[in-house]
Amino acid sequence: MALSQGLHQKLLQKLSPQQIQLMKLLQVPTANLEERIKEELEENPALEQSNEESDDQFEADEIKDEFDTSNEEEYEMDGSEDEYDNIDINDYVSEGDDDIADYRTRDENYGEQEEHKTSPVKLETSFYELLLQQLGMLKLDDKRKVIAEQVVGSIDDDGYLRRENAAIVNDLAFRQNIDATEIEVEEVIELIQQFDPPGICARDLQECLLIQLRHKQKTISSEDIDQAIVILEKYFDEFTKKHYEKIQRSLSLNDDQLKAIIQQIIKLNPKPGGNVGEVNKAETYIVPDFFILNNAGKLELTLNSRNAPDLRISEGYREMLKEYDKGSKRDKRQKEAVLFIKQKIDAARWFIDAIKQRQNTLLHTMSAIMHHQEEFFLTGDETNLKPMILKDIAEKTGLDISTVSRVANSKFVQTEFGTYRLKFFFSESLSTESGEEVSTREVKKILFDMVDAEEKRKPLSDERLTELLQEKGYNIARRTVAKYREQLNIPVARLRKQL
């Protein structure tokens, strides 16, 4: 095959490292932004945090899309000899570089005394530690103690033991060099099942509920508890599927008796380990990215910037460039040092600009969402939500759809009616009989209210729910109602039935 040359023209989209970093910054929620900035401070010595307060107002007049490449040349660097010759030291040592960032970094709603609070230290006993404490109270020989520790270590966070006895025997043989039998493991499991909270170390839900009922049976003498144990042992499938008529016929129970027995069962904890040693609530606290306040009928939007510290270029690095500029020697080491300092200062400048751009983009996007859903933010009524997709906000802001998606991802807004994910406000549209388009979230809210208000003895079927929605003017099919019901985590009518 002969070699040949050809000229081809291709159109490619290439993302610079700065664009990629900006995309990642947009996705970071306010709760994690402080950690991201700390990482940058550790990696770039030319970037430092200012201890001074900034009185500059937040500027939101310049919104730049993350895919805009018009100003990237100033941050490109290759470390070449020509680059060194073209460096203008005045661009890096001019006055004003040490000013703090001009975006707002403190929420005025928080007083100075709250800025220096000491974080509380979490003191709590984990679920695993609680079981080990109870294990230490048992009088076990060395072999059974090792078996018990292996079993406790195999228990899931919700309190269930989902490993087979044979698998535990193999673990003991290979990891602990203990030759145990399945019978010995089962004997230890029965001991651990007596631990608190009741229901621990069960293999499935049925066993978990039975352990709790037998625990209550030792302290409380009740016919309802005895009957509940019989139902869970012999009629568990019928009970979970709510075939109450079959249970009543088999045990000769009337409605009141069955209702009392069911009350005993529903009081039990299906996840006994779920409430023990749970994570600190402070760790799961939602930090809102935006605040919307209704001021006499006028909505006011503010951006939570408490986790974005004041950043500036390091004065020490600027002084180093000044010293190099004054020197007469221009050897290779000095050139490398100047290029290194230039690169670090350029990276620091860009990161400060990226933080500012992130804040501007977030505020601009949320402002468009607020105006689109203004009626909801004024009333808090979900039925006032308008249909809204990413494309609608992208057209209003002039940003790319992917940029809007990154802003909406993992972000929260705090309103007078609660804290919501930004994704909550995005929904498809559904037509009414009059041709008006309404949000599917409005239909889901009405569907939820219908189910909530239904007669529990005779819950509404999907067909009946469809008819009621159509009577209200919503053109909706039964399969769509079933889909919305599943999205709302509402079971079918048969499983919603109550005595």
In 10 A of CB 184, how many CB atoms? 17
Above 50 in pLDDT, residue 223? yes
Q: Say how many Å lie between the first and final Cα of the chain, rounded.
A: 84
For residues 334 and 265, the model is more confident at 265
Mean pLDDT within 9-35:
72
| pLDDT, averaged across the chain | 77
Looking at residue 280, its pLDDT comes to: 46
Site of tokens 């009088």 = 139
| Strand positions, DSSP E, 281-349 | 290-295, 298-303, 311-313
Tens digit of each residue's pLDDT (9 = 90 or more) over 133-152: 888 888 888 888 888 888 88
Give the contacts of 46 (CB within 8 A, at least 6 positions apart). Answer: 313, 314, 317, 341, 344, 345, 347, 348
Cα–Cα distance for residue pair 390/347, rounded to 1 Å: 32
Mean pLDDT within 304-328:
71
Above 60 in pLDDT, residue 121? no
For 49, the token pair is 């945090």
Counting residues of the chain whose pLDDT is more than 70, the rounded percentage is 76
Phi, psi dihedral angles at 257 (to 5 degrees): -65, -45
The full set of domain ranges for the chain reads 17-58+78-107+297-397, 127-266, 427-496
Q: Residue by residue, what is the 3-state secondary structure of 41-98?
A: HHHCCCEEECCCCCCCCCCCCCCCCCCCCCCCHHHCCCCCHHHHHCCCCHHHHCCCCC
Minimum mean pLDDT range among 108-117, 379-388, 416-425: 108-117
Tens digit of each residue's pLDDT (9 = 90 or more) over 44-91: 888 887 765 444 434 444 555 554 544 444 444 444 555 555 555 555
Tens digit of each residue's pLDDT (9 = 90 or more) over 346-375: 888 888 888 888 888 888 889 999 999 888
Asked if residues 185 and 161 have their Cβ atoms less than 8 Å apart, the reply is: no
Cα–Cα distance for residue pair 360/366, rounded to 1 Å: 10
Give the max Cα distance, the chain.
105
Q: Crossing angle, helix 17-27 and helix 332-372, to 10 degrees? A: 40
Residue 285: half-sphere exposure toward Cβ, Cα within 13 Å: 6
CATH number 1.10.10.60 given to 427-496: yes
Angle at 112 between CA 111 and CA 115, to 5 degrees: 100
Looking at residue 99, its pLDDT comes to: 47
Beta bridge partners of 47: 313
Beta bridge partners of 160: 202
Above 70 in pLDDT, residue 404? yes
Cα–Cα distance for residue pair 165/441, rounded to 1 Å: 48
CB burial of residue 95 (10 Å; 0-12, 13-18, 19+):
exposed
pLDDT band at 96 (very low <50, low <70, confident <90, very high): very low
Looking at residue 136, its pLDDT comes to: 84
Asked if residues 384 and 375 have their Cβ atoms less than 8 Å apart, the reply is: yes
For residues 370 and 432, the model is more confident at 370
Looking at residue 265, its pLDDT comes to: 86
Cα–Cα distance for residue pair 369/104, rounded to 1 Å: 21
Looking at residue 106, its pLDDT comes to: 44
Minimum mean pLDDT range among 24-28, 357-361, 421-425: 24-28
Beta bridge partners of 419: 414
Mean pLDDT within 319-326:
70
Cis peptide, bond prior to residue 197, ω within 30 of zero: yes
